[in-house]
Chain A
């Protein structure tokens, strides 16, 4: 019988400091055992429990794409009170990290095939969306989806994640990337300025044959979901991902309930329709 609590071993191959505040780092992990790595078969939108041995475990969305063979990336925000996120940020290349997963459900990529895809992200909740964009942009997949429109916002230019990739996307003709910042404190900024919901209203992507994936801080979601509805996206065509304290990640420990749902096994991905049926306890 498989022990569902035991992680598999990885080593940190690369650490990227993502933002000016330096509290967001992307960890590229390599599997210590190639077989275990091949068995780690994940989908866009899933998460894993990351273990810093002798400290603890925390749930983090997978930021790499299933098409990125042999590697696994996680972008982790360091919280002052977060024991594991602090320990992760103190890790160095070569350190050993445990990974338990992949866990949870995923974005409905099969349902999105042949459709226009709108991706709206804010702040550091952009990680599993980045996974999805990388997946769709992969040459083996790009033809399976119609237009890809991305709107991504952060507080200021220095807080944007994956800056090199954002630049590369803007140079491609098979993705329409809108990058916005709440406030452009940098004179060389050429992107949008303004909050995500406002820019979304300006860009006004068509809801026709389209599915929207939206992830961001609660305040962004609160104002963005109504804009999507106004644009004509139906409640089953709007898809988001929730965060909860998911300790075991396998539906046992009882922590991540929202009503009768466990975010760790019934989510983290929910449609807006499902979200509206859940009690307000997030």
Chain B
């Protein structure tokens, strides 16, 4: 199906129809905090936000999840999340972030069955970003407010209606399935709208070369300096759509145990601590370096791409106003000869 359009007045009806076939998730606002949750009706949807406070990551990698249960004698069958879902209204940066998580949780070497099942069963209907925030920097990371990576259907808010575009076959099937809510052949001004949106991006960095620059900076004394005000709270990691480090813990049941995969953060003191008491990253500077190196040097070495989509959540939420853009800018500005030694 080519471009089409849905009048906003039809949103309620559309959601009711989709809800009959899928679990529907979307952005919900509570006192200005926008998070993703189950949507029962159109008036629960908060579609006027610039970006959600929390990313859509947890719909695929929940904060806590049982990865197996042992009843003391036998393993209980894995409760795979097989329900069909639609996530509506997430931004292109969050969709792109999922393609980066795919490289870890669904790669040739290992597949996380919970993550893979959710990804396979979920249609991503993204809402293009017309009002990027001053803290947003998706274009610096190779993304775009109208980006299509990871997106199944892209919507654009035209005021009275949504423009809709199928990006993948799954998106095409979805639009066809609910074709009666969309008027076909709507010649949307996609290109103009996309251009206007990316024109609002204020960050002029290009992060493609950061990885190479970081090669020689492991021993640099900059880490001590740039991490000085970091309090290691982990807010940046918890809000980050591409951070995925986790812990595995035992949650006792009456006769057995549930093994829980729980979000963790490389900024926490106990993260790499050995049972012997030895800690390979015993100070904030070392942990801060690990976080930056993992995103912009180690991940590119392994998967070819920076593990950052420029959503800007870490910039907005950091309690001590650390701005990753400033740090990356400084790294890029460092003399290439010194950095690539």
Chain A residues close to B by CB (< 8 Å)? 1-6, 53-58, 79, 81-85, 98, 243-245, 247-248, 250-260, 265, 279-282
Partner of A57, one of B78, B112, B248, B281: B248
Partner of A243, one of B111, B256, B264, B274: B274
Asked if B247 contacts A247 (CB within 8 A), the reply is yes
Q: How far is the CB of A50 from chain B (nearest CB, A)?
A: 12
Docked complex Cα distance between A250 and B273 (Å): 18
Asked if B109 contacts A265 (CB within 8 A), the reply is yes
Asked if B266 contacts A55 (CB within 8 A), the reply is no
Task: Report if B261 contacts A (CB, 8 A).
Answer: yes
Partner of B250, one of A54, A82, A252, A254: A54
Docked complex Cα distance between A94 and B305 (Å): 49
| Stretch with Cβ within 8 A of A (4 or more), from B141-149, B162-170, B293-301, B324-332 | B293-301
Docked complex Cα distance between A8 and B116 (Å): 22
Docked complex Cα distance between A218 and B244 (Å): 30
**Which residues of B68-124 have CB atoms within 8 Å of chain A's CB atoms?**
68, 70, 72, 75, 78, 104-105, 109-113, 116-117
Asked if B246 contacts A252 (CB within 8 A), the reply is yes
Partner of A5, one of B67, B116, B257: B67
Q: How far is the CB of A169 from chain B (nearest CB, A)?
A: 28
Task: Report if B249 contacts A (CB, 8 A).
Answer: yes
Docked complex Cα distance between A151 and B229 (Å): 49
Docked complex Cα distance between A259 and B297 (Å): 9
Q: Find the residue from B111, B112, B290 having the highest chain A CB count within 10 A.
A: B112
Docked complex Cα distance between A98 and B67 (Å): 15
Mask of B255-269 contacts with A, CB within 8 angstroms, 1/0: 011010100101000
Closest to A79 in B: B275
Docked complex Cα distance between A282 and B70 (Å): 34
A-B contact pairs, 11 of them (CB 8 A): A1-B117, A3-B78, A79-B276, A82-B275, A244-B274, A248-B248, A253-B264, A254-B244, A254-B246, A254-B264, A255-B245
Query: Told that A3-B78, A6-B259, A82-B275 touch, could you supply 17 new A-B pairs with CB distance under 8 A?
Result: A1-B116, A4-B113, A6-B67, A53-B72, A56-B250, A79-B275, A82-B276, A244-B280, A245-B272, A247-B246, A251-B104, A251-B109, A252-B104, A252-B110, A253-B245, A253-B248, A254-B266
Once A254-B245, A282-B280 are accepted as A-B contacts, the answer to whether A1 and B272 lie under 8 Å apart by CB is: no
Q: Which residues of A contact B259 (CB under 8 A)?
A: 5-6
Closest to A8 in B: B75
Task: Report if B218 contacts A (CB, 8 A).
Answer: yes
Mask of B35-65 contacts with A, CB within 8 angstroms, 1/0: 0000000000000000000000000000000
Asked if B290 contacts A53 (CB within 8 A), the reply is no
Task: Report if B200 contacts A (CB, 8 A).
Answer: no
**Which residues of B289-327 have CB atoms within 8 Å of chain A's CB atoms?**
290, 293-294, 297-298, 301-302
Q: Which residues of A contact B32 (CB under 8 A)?
A: none
Docked complex Cα distance between A253 and B247 (Å): 7
Docked complex Cα distance between A216 and B75 (Å): 37
Docked complex Cα distance between A57 and B116 (Å): 24
Q: Which residues of A contact B109 (CB under 8 A)?
A: 250-251, 265
Q: Which residues of B contact A83 (CB under 8 A)?
A: 275
Once A85-B275, A257-B290 are accepted as A-B contacts, the answer to whether A247 and B252 lie under 8 Å apart by CB is: no
Task: Report if B271 contacts A (CB, 8 A).
Answer: yes
Docked complex Cα distance between A3 and B290 (Å): 29
Docked complex Cα distance between A213 and B302 (Å): 27
Closest to B257 in A: A54
Task: Report if B286 contacts A (CB, 8 A).
Answer: yes
Once A244-B272, A252-B112 are accepted as A-B contacts, the answer to whether A3 and B248 lie under 8 Å apart by CB is: no
Q: Find the residue from B264, B281, B298 having the highest chain A CB count within 10 A.
A: B298
Q: Which residues of B contact A4 (CB under 8 A)?
A: 110-113
Q: How far is the CB of B280 from chain A (nearest CB, A)?
A: 5
Q: Which residues of B contact A244 (CB under 8 A)?
A: 272, 274, 280
Docked complex Cα distance between A281 and B272 (Å): 11
**Which residues of B216-273 have CB atoms within 8 Å of chain A's CB atoms?**
218-219, 244-250, 252, 256-257, 259, 261, 264, 266, 271-273
Asked if B302 contacts A260 (CB within 8 A), the reply is yes
Q: Which residues of A contact B271 (CB under 8 A)?
A: 255
Once A5-B67, A252-B105 are accepted as A-B contacts, the answer to whether A53 and B256 lie under 8 Å apart by CB is: yes
Task: Report if B159 contacts A (CB, 8 A).
Answer: no
Asked if A53 contacts B110 (CB within 8 A), the reply is no
Docked complex Cα distance between A2 and B67 (Å): 12
Q: How far is the CB of B325 from chain A (nearest CB, A)?
A: 23
Q: Which residues of B contact A2 (CB under 8 A)?
A: 111, 113
Asked if A53 contacts B275 (CB within 8 A), the reply is no
Closest 9 A/B residue pairs (Cβ): A82-B275, A254-B245, A5-B67, A260-B298, A260-B301, A1-B113, A79-B275, A6-B68, A54-B257
Once A253-B248, A254-B244 are accepted as A-B contacts, the answer to whether A53 and B257 lie under 8 Å apart by CB is: yes
